[in-house]
Amino acid sequence: MKGSTTLAKRRQRASAICAAVFLAPVIILMLVYFVYPIVATFANSLTRWNGISPEKIFVGSYNWNKLIHDAKFWKAFGNNIKVMAISLIVQMPIGILLATFLDAGGKKFNIFKIIWFLPLLMSSVAVGYLFHYALATNSGIFTAISELFGGGKIDLLGNQGTALYAVIGVICWQFIPFYMVYYMAGYSSIDESLYEAAIVDGATRTQYVTKIALPMLVPTIKSAIVLSITGSLKYFDLVYVMTGGGPGESTELMATYMYKESFSKYNMGYGSSIAGGMFILITLIAGVTMYVMNRNKED
Amino acid sequence: MKKKVIAAIMAAAMVVTSLTACGGKKPTVPADAAGSAEAGSVEAGASDAAAPAASTGDDKTISFWNIATDEPDKTIWSYAVDQYNANDSAASGYTIDQVPTVNDQYKQKLSVAMSAGECPDVYLHWTGGPMREYIKSGYAQDITAIVDELGLRDKYNEAALEQCTVDGKIYALPVKNQSVAVVFYDKKMWQEKGYEIPKTIDELEALCDKMKADGITPFALANSAQWTGSMYYCYLVARYGGSEVITDAYNQSGSLVNDATKYAGDKISEWVTKGYFPDGVNSLSPDNGEDRALLYQGAGMMLHGSWQVASIKSENPDFYENLGAFPFPQVSESSADQTAVLGTLGDNFLSFNCTGDKLKEAVKMVAYYASDEWKQLDIDNGNLPPLKGATSEEPAWKDIIGIIENASSVQLWWDQYLPSSVAEVHKSSTQKLFDNSESSEDVAKEQQDALDEYFTENSGS
């Protein structure tokens, strides 16, 4: 009835509908859980609001002024930077080493693969409690070792000088497996024939890794670095479980500070500006990092 | 066509789950058409104009939120709900829908529900700072008239009702327990070692020195939660300067930077230096009962809330047999009232977010928590209800009741009494006394600054 073009048109229309149907859930999810919260956070940051009242009082830039002059926020930011720096220094090399080891070993090292992957399978809250006991001053691992050699008790989490580093250690323990798997995936995407060609050309295994595999892994490393930076700047759960930001403010991170302001102190307006500040700082740092890394590539 | 339907259903389902995740109650936005429902959910979240959702009479279900997820709380809390639904429902047409939530998540769930305009009709809280926020936001109704009409005033402890009263109006009813901070000790161990109950701080210090010489850690304290250590601070302040120190500061007629807070801070620092507290005190967690564990392992004494009696009874019945309690020692050189106790008379409180008949029926339901039968049930489960004539035969409770009866006044724990923003600062700053990382003056100043900031920010509105 409609002639010979119908089939093509129908096909076009069908694929348009199909695309819409497949995209709609993602777009709706993005709008509801991503775009709307960000917009709402910035809107709330301009108000004084206790988080429960239907009434929000518009206070303009008051919260942002307060944020810029808030020593506690900047201390928390400093702690985040420490977490970020140590995470990069510790997690990246160990992750690459483990991945290289497993990649070289093949199937016979599967047992290591499983054991090393275990920490990532546990929930952060479980890891937090586990290490709360493992690092405990009374009967914890370090105290037990110290007492074995005639030393005193070691208080890692209750000491303002060491608490942050103890927590960072646990964060590394938890996330090294993630980067290990990430780099393993990077290795497996390198074509087998490159390895064969290198060996045929007389390269040793070490030469293959340092001269061929690692350079080819650079894009993976770059994205891992960005992941690690953003991850450690917005870190929350383990710290909240293990120390709650204490003792004092020694392990306070931006995210735990935001949580406390919003939900414990009922300052949802100010909490929102902390969240907004985090958003800006993290975007800035991640953006600069990506820019610097990509610029080097073009040189 | 089929795909469209599926898409619409999926979108609607997503909107519904996102709403219920916030509200915990049936969403008010109909999720019929995918597109409009999605827009609706955004509006519902963002709307500033949503009226303080005190629901009126058209809904015949009274939603009731509490934290009774475990025994014996389940039995204690279900009593009034069951009684009301069995005896009064038929006549009034209302039924009670009880929604228990795990304690840890409760406060946050309640805040989220309130911000979404989905506040339950009856809900549990702990008075103090948060209750004032609820009242300010219009989520707690004045029930003074109904309390008088039902003759409930005679049933409750006066001091307990006082804790529910703001500006002469009653906004809540006390329910579960009278919790006061007392010093627990092991009677048997103390008898064997020849320790005497210290009446004054000087005697307490002498006792602590003796304990140290015997190789015993004097205080069983787990201070990662911060409010546990804060009890020492609050008591020392109250003993030296009286309860007025904190009430004056809150009424803006005094400052927290004074001799009393200096005395308290310096005492704690001194005790820390002398090793009266366990190693790693700031990393031990009271949520895991690490302070009780220290007491079982032979620490000297434990300053804690009286709810510990029930925990110790179920956790360590052998230890419980010798459990004793005494009031916090006195500062002999002070002229302040030396019998005041730190605590809360009710522990759990209920406020109402409904009006008219529904409010009256809700209060009637809660009035079952003031009946003689419930009183006995509560006592049998190891509590001391905030009702007149409540007693207990348990030996540890006899000590505690003696302390309460002897007390001239009850000072609510600072972290509940102060506005929430100041309470957090109070907790984190006093924690720094326990590793000697901040001086008593700085701790006091930090708290006063937080109070000042609170008043500046809230003076305009």
A43 lies in a domain?
no
Contact B107 A263 (CB under 8 A): yes
Residues 206-235 of B with CB under 8 A from A: 224-226
Domain total of chain A: 2
Question: Which H helix or E strand runs over B344?
Answer: strand B341-346
Please determine whether the domains at B61-176+347-370 and B179-344+411-459 fall in the same fold group of CATH.
yes
Same-domain check for residues A225 and A177: yes
Domain residues for the domain of A270 are 62-298
What CATH number is attached to the domain comprising A119? 1.10.3720.10
Q: Please check the confidence at residue B211 and state whether its pLDDT lies above 50.
A: yes
Alpha carbons B110 and A52: distance in angstroms, whole number: 9
Same-domain check for residues A146 and A18: no
Which of the four CATH numbers 3.40.190.10, 3.40.50.2000, 3.30.565.10, 3.30.390.30 does domain B179-344+411-459 have?
Answer: 3.40.190.10
A274 lies in a domain?
yes
Could you read off the pLDDT of B266-325 as tens digits, one per residue? 999 999 999 999 988 888 888 778 899 889 988 999 999 988 888 888 888 899 999 999
A&B contacts, CB < 8 Å = 153
Alpha carbons A160 and A249: distance in angstroms, whole number: 8
A45 lies in a domain?
no
Among chain A residues, CA nearest to B225: A244
Same-domain check for residues A17 and A83: no
- Give the pLDDT band (50/70/90) at residue B22: very low
Q: Please check the confidence at residue B120 and state whether its pLDDT lies above 80.
A: yes
- Give the pLDDT band (50/70/90) at residue B195: very high
A54 lies in a domain?
no
Alpha carbons A5 and A18: distance in angstroms, whole number: 20
Same-domain check for residues A18 and A70: no
A269 lies in a domain?
yes
Same-domain check for residues A18 and A85: no
What's the distance, Cα to Cα, between the start and end of chain B in Å?
54
- pTM > 0.90: no
CATH class of B61-176+347-370: alpha beta
ipTM of the prediction: 0.71
Instruction: Enumerate the domain spans of chain B.
Output: 61-176+347-370, 179-344+411-459
Same-domain check for residues A70 and A163: yes
Contact A265 B283 (CB under 8 A): no
Higher pLDDT, B99 or B1: B99
pLDDT at B103: 79
pLDDT at B12: 44
Could you read off the pLDDT of B368-381 as tens digits, one per residue? 999 999 998 988 88
- Give the pLDDT band (50/70/90) at residue B45: very low
Same-domain check for residues A68 and A28: no
In the predicted model, residues of chain A with pLDDT beneath 50 are 299
**Nearest neighbour of B115 by CB, restricted to A51, A136, A267:** A51
Could you read off the pLDDT of B221-244 as tens digits, one per residue? 999 889 999 999 999 999 999 888
Contact B52 A54 (CB under 8 A): yes
pLDDT at A3: 53
A56 lies in a domain?
no
Q: Please check the confidence at residue B7 and state whether its pLDDT lies above 70.
A: no
pLDDT at B44: 37
Contact B283 A249 (CB under 8 A): no
Contacts with B434 from chain A: Cβ below 8 Å: 247
Q: Please check the confidence at residue B115 and state whether its pLDDT lies above 90.
A: no
pLDDT at B394: 79
Q: Please check the confidence at residue B23 and state whether its pLDDT lies above 90.
A: no
pLDDT at B10: 46
